[in-house]
Amino acid sequence: MPLNLLGLNRNQFETLCADMGEKPFRARQMMRWMHQAGVSDFGLMSDVSKGFREQISAVAGITGPEVLRDTTAADGTRKWLFNVGTGNAIEAVYIPEGNIDHEIDNEPPAEGVQARRYRGTLCISSQAGCALECSFCSTGRQGFNRNLGAAEIIGQLWHASRSLSAAHDVERPITNVVMMGMGEPLANFDNVVAAMQLMLDDHAYGISRRRLTLSTSGLVPAIDRLREACPVALAVSLHAPNDALRDELVPINRKYPIRELLAACLRYIEKAPRDFVTFEYVMLAGVNDSVALARELVKTVKPVPCKINLIPFNPFPDSGYERSSTPAVAAFRDVLLQAGLTATVRKTRGDSIDAACGQLAGKVQDKTRRVLRRMEVNRA
């Protein structure tokens, strides 16, 4: 199988060019053609010598992901289902805020209409399935098959950017990227970092570190590695104020309890592009949404500069959980605000196409036998 150039960061691409007798600037040229212009045909790269195009096409290609399904919700949220082989499929979700057709080109708003800044966020997957099995997450229920390669990770951004650019006639429709799709990004550390380096590269996507967010369930050693290798904005799936409850909701907590996790967050902030960590907290009715637990959460996160993102639970079949009521979410948030914390309630987007937070499932050929074990328990 030929080398897929989509997965090479600048250093890797420059090394490849050097091995083929070319100067490093050839790599930068081709990166701009691939990632910024969305070109997959070497023949269209007009400022690259014909000889080199023929030489590299003999050993490498530019191969985007195969799209199995492309769905758009009424609110503009768009979800792609990508084939990653051997019966596995992953999902990526685009969430627009504002009017892409006007605001991204800096067109003035209509008279009497207040201007809003456009923001387009792409949520990207890093694994086919997930091995961590958080109890409220649809992806975790599917089991785990394998890590995605760097080309498969960046391919989601490459395809989404091409599709949206063509649909809206804009150059860079995606302003923010979040590693919050299927999988635990830090469990696929090397491939995720390689892909994020491409996202940050000005010769590729040029996304700022503040606009690139990685969400983790709390793999403490990998948080420390990320701090040194590629510090971007950090979000942590907390979901509980104490170890007893978090052990139940986020099983990795049994290995890396809250105290160790918060210490890692403090270390991370020293090199992070933002001076705070975002703690994600999914609101589960009767489980973690009481006022008493809100007060406990205030005490738990007090040592860490943070923002709390409250996420209404997005149901999926046989989840065993229900979404907290609007009054319960408001009461929980008010406790945090009164304590001086920054707290927001995430707006649910894309739930009509199962594209909301926690709903991504794709298709996973489970190697963990998790699904089979659950079926056996249910039959017993």
Residues with a catalytic annotation lie at: 91, 357
β-bridge pairing 212-216 and 233-237: parallel
Kindly compute the dihedral angle of the four CA atoms of residues 252, 195, 159, 164, in this order, to the nearest 10 degrees: 90
- Are residues 157 and 117 in contact, defined by beta-carbon separation less than 8 angstroms? no
Measured between alpha carbons, how far is 321 from 378 in angstroms, rounded to an integer?
17
Number of C-beta neighbours around residue 328 at 10 A: 18
Q: Which of the 8 DSSP states describes residue 79?
A: E
Instruction: Give dist(CA 184, CA 130) in Å, integer.
Output: 6
Phi-psi region of 377 (alpha: psi -120 to 50; beta: other; left: phi over 0): alpha
Q: Partners of 311 in the beta sheet? A: 282
Token pair of 257 as six digits: 């309890």
| β strands within the chain, DSSP E | 3-4, 60-61, 66-72, 78-85, 88-97, 119-123, 127-129, 144-147, 176-179, 212-216, 233-237, 277-283, 306-312, 342-345
Number of H-type helices and E-type strands within the chain: 13, 14
Contacts of 267 (CB under 8 A, 6+ apart): 223, 224, 227
Contact 158, 142 (CB under 8 A): no
Could you please report the per-residue DSSP string of 120-172?
EEEE---EEE-SS--TT-HHHHT-EEEEPPHHHHHHHHHHHHHHHHHHHT-S-
Query: SS in 3 state form for 128-141?
Result: EECCCCCCCCHHHH
Phi-psi region for residue 295, left (φ > 0), alpha (ψ -120 to 50) or beta? alpha
Are the C-beta atoms of residues 328 and 294 closer than 8 Å to each other?
A: no
Strands 176-179 and 233-237: unpaired
